[in-house]
Amino acid sequence: IVSEIMETNPIPVLTIQTTPFDDQRPGTNGLRKKTSVFESKKNYLQNYIQSVLSSIDLRDRQGCTMVVGSDGRYFSRAAIEVIVQMAAANGIGRLVIGHSGILSTPAVSCIIRKIKAIGGIILTASHSPGGPAGDFGIKFNIANGGPSPDTVMERIYQVSRTLEEYAICPDLHIDLSRLGRQDFDLENKFKPFRVEIVDSVEIYLNMLRGIFDFGAIKSLLTGPEQLKIRIDAMNGVMGPYVRRILCDELGAPANSAVNCVPLEDFGGQHPNPNPTFAVSLVESMKGGEFGFGAAFDADGDRCMILGQNGFFVNPSDSLAVMAANLSCIPYFRQAGIRGLARSMPTSMALDRVAKAMKVALYETPAGWRFFGNLMDSGRCSFCGEESFGTGSDHIREKDGLWAVLVWLSVISVRKQGVEEIVKDHWVKFGRNYYCRFDYEGVDPRAAYYLMRDLEAVITDKAFISQKFAVGNNVYSVEKTDNFEYIDPVDGSVSRNQGLRIVFTDSSRIIFRLSGSGVGVGATIRIYAESYERDPERHSRETQVVLGPLIAIALKISDIHERTNGCGDACWGIYSLVFKMTVYRCLYINICHYCT
Ligand code: VG1
Ligand code: CO
């Protein structure tokens, strides 16, 4: 009787009329908007999901497997329900979803690859705040496990602009809390639609076991000379991963892990692992009790590394130090290192490591999607960005907890502390002083004109070979451009990726517009970097070393005047002393613009 009921009551598949939106172009990594836009604008979520599903070739889509996860932020559960209903209606055969909807971005990448899924959807706005008044976002990863490349994003956007209907099974309901399979018979479909709820950590943990020497890390964290660590999951997705992997598996005491319960609003905090927002971690590290500290962003792909007494590892340095020490990790000892890659604004510290290792160095635009082709084609083994992301070809995403295990492996092999390892690195390779400023909430038109006018200024013939004197320093312009990237694998060209001013002493100033905001105002990022070979000069204050370059950046861009001054709109993410107000009085008055 039961089977008869099943057969006579398959779940209906409906086609719903809709009208397209014109603002569904994905940014640096996915579509991000205020939560209220997804929650309250009728069909906003449905239209975008339909656009994502329609962007997959019908032959590939029929009966295929996809992965779905979220960083636990508010509205994720409601969105997952819609995604399941629409995936079923659009012919997807199987969805693999994390328990309670929870999966970190690197875990999704890992699972896609492991089960050969066609792609995955991750509900996250990454490091941006969550909650009804916060931000929400949707990442779509492709079959290699990585973020959609530009071609896929463009396809999604084009579909969204003309979308008139979407397909959905509104009567299909799943239980996210029940591990295992749930099958559903659909109207006009031969095969049942299957949902599999999987443990959020297990598959990812198994992958890490194959990469690292767990025994060595365990003895580091539990042995007689035990390294005490402090890991802050920032109330994001990483809590279950930290507890299970670092505490249960690797033996770190339970009090090593804080903020480990994923909260829908991340406790009202920015889940952004930098010294400004991970301030409680910085404070507890300053106490000196812990020798190693780390914090993650909401979706677990970024991480900040701290040493004893709060020693801050600049992410570009972290990238270079990890690269120089990859032989501490069994995975790389086995597979070797084919090439290294960094995003253009990331400091050039990595370039020096690549040179010493005699491997290729690739410089890509900001955003992880550009690393995919390099890794798929075997050109690159390890890569990262200044925005606290590092990763390798073990998956196709940056991977926060993996980065922690790399650092712990290096510490266990070298038997040195974080600060010592970094300083040794500087002695060997020189130090790249580095910082970044973000000007947030800028009027988009003002931002557009600033970039347009600045490009005209710096690409003018008169600008090349110009000299800037600031205090006792003189900087001569060597090269300027608007960065353009030609993908060595498919030849695709990405233009307009940031304004670069390179000086003869290899210091750089970079300007670019952020592409990961939620569309309320623009964010202008300024990056400054300068290289110091002399170990005697490695303990200077970053703001002192980079002050003159920043003065030049402010002057040539006129940014304070164009964005109505500084105030709260801008802050330096690498140090609290970088508040622009400080800079303004310190440097603006002493810089002269020489012609
Ligand atoms: C920022 C970072 C970039 C990173 C991107 C996604 O982009 O600068 O390096 O890849 O966020 O990070 P933008 O365009 O705002 O500078 V995540 O953790 O959302 O995947
Ligand atoms: Co992230």
Cα dist. 508→288, 436, 577 in Å? 35, 12, 21
Ligand 1 atom index nearest CA of 343: 9
Amino acid at 592: H
pLDDT in tens, 305-358: 999 999 999 999 999 999 999 999 999 999 999 999 999 999 999 999 999 999
Residue whose C-alpha is closest to residue 88's, from 198, 6, 9, 168:
168
Amino acid at 96: V
Instruction: Answer whether 3-198 and 431-586 agree in fold.
Output: no
The domain spans of the chain are 3-198, 205-429, 431-586
Residue whose C-alpha is closest to residue 74's, from 31, 26, 123:
123
| Protein residue with its CA nearest to atom 1 in ligand 1 | 516
Q: How confident is the model at residue 572 (pLDDT cuts 50, 70, 90)?
A: very low
pLDDT in tens, 367-419: 999 999 999 999 999 999 999 999 999 999 999 999 999 999 999 999 999 99
Average pLDDT over residues 478-485: 97
- Cα(389) to ligand 1 centroid in Å equals 9
Where does residue 582 rank: exposed (0-12), middle (13-18), buried (19+ CB within 10 A)?
middle
Contact 32, 519 (CB under 8 A): yes
| Protein residue with its CA nearest to atom 2 in ligand 1 | 387
**Which segment of 11-15, 242-246, 438-442, 542-546 scores lowest on mean pLDDT?**
438-442
Which ligand is in closest contact with the Cα of 316?
Answer: 1
Site to probe by mutation for ligand 1, drawn from 25, 28, 124, 277 as the one with most ligand atoms within 8 Å of Cβ, is: 28
| Residues annotated catalytic, as ranges | 126
Q: What is the reported pLDDT for 595?
A: 17
What's the whole-model pTM score? 0.94
| Separation CA 63–CA 96 (nearest Å) | 13
Q: What residues contact 91, with CB distance under 8 A and at least 6 apart?
A: 58, 61, 62, 63, 189
| Separation CA 566–CA 178 (nearest Å) | 50
Which ligand is in closest contact with the Cα of 139?
Answer: 1
- Cα(161) to ligand 1 centroid in Å equals 25
**H-helix or E-strand containing 94?**
strand 94-102
Q: Which residues pair with 510 in a beta bridge?
A: 500, 527
Q: Which residues line ligand 1 (CB under 6 A)?
A: 28-29, 126-127, 297, 301-302, 343, 366-368, 385, 387, 389, 514-516, 525
- Cα(394) to ligand 2 centroid in Å equals 18
Tell the CATH topology of 3-198.
Answer: Alpha-D-Glucose-1,6-Bisphosphate; Chain A, domain 3 (3.40.120)
Q: What percent of the chain has pLDDT over 70?
A: 93
Q: What is the reported pLDDT for 559?
A: 85
Site to probe by mutation for ligand 1, drawn from 150, 387, 483 as the one with most ligand atoms within 8 Å of Cβ, is: 387
Rg (CA), the chain: 24
Q: Is 3.40.120.10 the CATH classification of the domain at 205-429? A: yes
Q: What is the reported pLDDT for 522?
A: 86
Ligand 1 atom index nearest CA of 367: 10
Q: Which residues pair with 312 in a beta bridge?
A: 306
Ligand 1 atom index nearest CA of 105: 20
Tell the CATH topology of 431-586.
Answer: TATA-Binding Protein (3.30.310)
Cα dist. 253→68, 86, 347, 531 in Å? 31, 43, 35, 40
